[in-house]
Amino acid sequence: MRGFFLTHNRVTTMRYRIGESIDAQATSLDQGAFTTITVLSLLIGIGFIYAGLRSKHYWLTIWGSGLTLASICYLCYVVFLL
């Protein structure tokens, strides 16, 4: 079923250039991109915690804590287990 997808209850076909493979279109992210995004998320999470505590918006503090915790867990996974 590659090349087909369902939109609004009708099947449409995707068009490709002559000689172009379906798999050749996708670009993949390497580990460096994921690590960069994780470090950026860590910094944003710390900023959310600071802003939430300073402005007394505790939902922002909780959101930033979750983002920071998830970023730290992923970085530990990459450094120690991968």
For 26-76, write each residue's pLDDT tens digit. 667 888 999 999 999 999 999 999 999 999 999 999 999 999 999 999 999
DSSP SS3 for 11: strand
With beta carbons less than 8 A apart as the criterion, state whether 58 and 50 touch.
no
Flag whether the pTM goes above 0.85: no
pLDDT of residue 4: 53
* Calpha distance 30→42 (Å, rounded): 19
